[in-house]
Amino acid sequence: MGSAKQIKFRQAVAKMVNERYITAVRPVDTVTKVDRVMAEERKEIEKLMVPPTAKELKEIRARIKEREDEEYHNTAVIGIKRKAVNYEDSTMEIGGDSGLVKEELAIDAVDEDMFFRAYTDRLDVFLRNQQITNYFADKYNAAAGAVVKTMLRLTEPKTKTCRDKVSTTVSASQVMQNLAHDAPLADSVDLDNDAYFDSLESAKSDGAQAMTRKERAEIVLALLEVVSSDRSGMVRKLEERGAGQFVVDFSNAATALRDQCIDALVHEKFGSLHARTVRILRDKQKLDEKVIAQAVMLPIAQCREKLHDLALEGIIDTLEIPRTADRNPSRMFYLWFINSEKQVRNALRMAFEGIANAMARLDYEVTARDTLTAKANRDDVIANPDLLTEGERDELAKLEATALRLQVACVRLDRMLLVLHDINPSSAELNLL
């Protein structure tokens, strides 16, 4: 029995390694990516014997980036080796009435000398896909979320990390075949056929079931048209062959989710008018404060105050356009716009500050009640809770509720970090962290 459990365990680990849920730990993993790139760049510069020019330095960095891309796209799985087994243990019998033929099986085994860790980049893929599904479910309905979730599930096996900018192609027929049978498609779109929805509950015959499959396909096609027409551009239709070929644009998805997250952050920190100002600048690009005041429908003085609040936090920025050659500040146009990279950096800073404040408050709350928690953890008090007074029990309940709220706040801020940085295919190039 023990050996059977060990075999199942090793098979499960091998499957997780092959599908990149966990990965082998290598000596190079002990060095951060920035330090590794700097070391490689230093080696390349030492080969030149003289300080490199700007062009040579650019070529060196391009070569390092090319090697990183080759390593990323390498399909070899680290931590798996060929296992040497006896012929009798590694064969299976195939054949029919004419006789039996022994065929040798290929067996992969996990290298037991290796150490493994969770492959967080792969886990980020699942978290990102959940965020995309929630986006469509919240914006349209649960059926649209189910359709997008099916598309993402079909592309997951070939998506290793969030660096991929576009998913593999998925056909409409694949979505229809793999969509969950209990997906809430009824009443999700208007097909001008109310009698069909009534027949969903009363259909009993085979003919009615065939009609159900037909109408189900029509609903899925309608939902695919809806999600591919969304202004975010997350789902794109490539061609009209058959029922249609679709892809999920992860770059557009990262941008749309990032903007949604920043809008929520601004709304929470400043209010709805500040969030509206940010949305208008994002849609219209560079604007004068008078035009912004008209769009936001606020007096110019209040609009200027809100613009300055956002500028102090680094959410928006100004562009100076001189009227004359002397660049006199009194004779300049000042346009407000959004610098996306700067905006993300400041949003990340606010998220990290929030996490640090929540953790500091949690430490303070726990430290302030050290004596009480020490008493509650004594063996005699655990055996007999009546040794605690009513006031002490109330304090412990208050501490538990406060700790829970602070932990939930940290989780939500961590989700913000995921949306702002981790799922962005270009985050590694921007070096935001």
- Among 94-103, 149-158, 264-273, 406-415, the least confident range: 94-103
Tens digits of residue pLDDT in 12-40: 888 888 877 888 887 777 777 778 888 88
Contact status, residue 402 vs residue 363, Cβ threshold 8 Å: no
* 276 torsion bin: left (phi>0), alpha (psi -120 to 50), beta (else): alpha
Is the pLDDT score of 359 beyond 90? yes
All residues at 6 or more sequence positions from 392 whose CB lies less than 8 Å from its CB, including other chains: 372, 375, 376
Contact status, residue 270 vs residue 259, Cβ threshold 8 Å: no
Is the pLDDT score of 360 beyond 90? yes
- Predicted pLDDT at 258: 92
Mean pLDDT of 198-203: 47
pLDDT band at 131 (very low <50, low <70, confident <90, very high): very high
CATH of region 253-338? 1.10.10.10
Is the pLDDT score of 361 beyond 90? yes
Tens digits of residue pLDDT in 46-98: 888 888 888 888 888 888 888 877 776 666 677 777 655 544 444 444 444 44
Is the pLDDT score of 103 beyond 50? no
Is the pLDDT score of 191 beyond 70? no
Tens digits of residue pLDDT in 382-398: 888 888 888 888 988 99
Is the pLDDT score of 208 beyond 80? no
- Predicted pLDDT at 13: 83
Report which of 430, 414, 432 is spatially closest to residue 120, judged by C-alpha positions: 414
All residues at 6 or more sequence positions from 378 whose CB lies less than 8 Å from its CB, including other chains: none
Gap between the Cα atoms of 416 and 380, Å rounded: 43
Tens digits of residue pLDDT in 164-187: 888 889 888 888 888 888 777 776
Is the pLDDT score of 101 beyond 60? no
- Among 94-103, 104-113, 260-269, the least confident range: 94-103
Fold: same for 121-248 and 253-338: yes
Tens digits of residue pLDDT in 312-358: 988 899 888 887 777 777 778 889 999 888 888 888 998 999 999 99
What residue segments make up the domains of the chain, in order of their start? Answer: 2-118, 121-248, 253-338, 343-430
- Among 156-160, 233-237, 272-276, the least confident range: 156-160
Tens digits of residue pLDDT in 211-263: 477 788 888 888 898 898 889 889 998 877 767 789 999 999 999 999 999 99
Share the mean pLDDT of the chain. Answer: 81
Gap between the Cα atoms of 407 and 401, Å rounded: 10
- Predicted pLDDT at 211: 43
Is the pLDDT score of 401 beyond 90? yes
The model carries a pTM of 0.76
* CB neighbours of residue 218 within 10 Å: 15
Q: Are strands 235-239 and 245-248 parallel, antiparallel or unpaired?
A: antiparallel
Is the pLDDT score of 107 beyond 60? no
- Predicted pLDDT at 257: 93
Gap between the Cα atoms of 288 and 294, Å rounded: 10
Report the Cα 205 to chain-centroid distance in Å.
44
Q: What is the share, in percent, of the chain residues with pLDDT greater than 90?
A: 21
- Among 98-107, 146-155, 374-383, the least confident range: 98-107
CATH of region 121-248? 1.10.10.10
- Predicted pLDDT at 430: 61
Alpha-helical segments (H) within 54-186: 54-72, 120-139, 142-155, 172-178
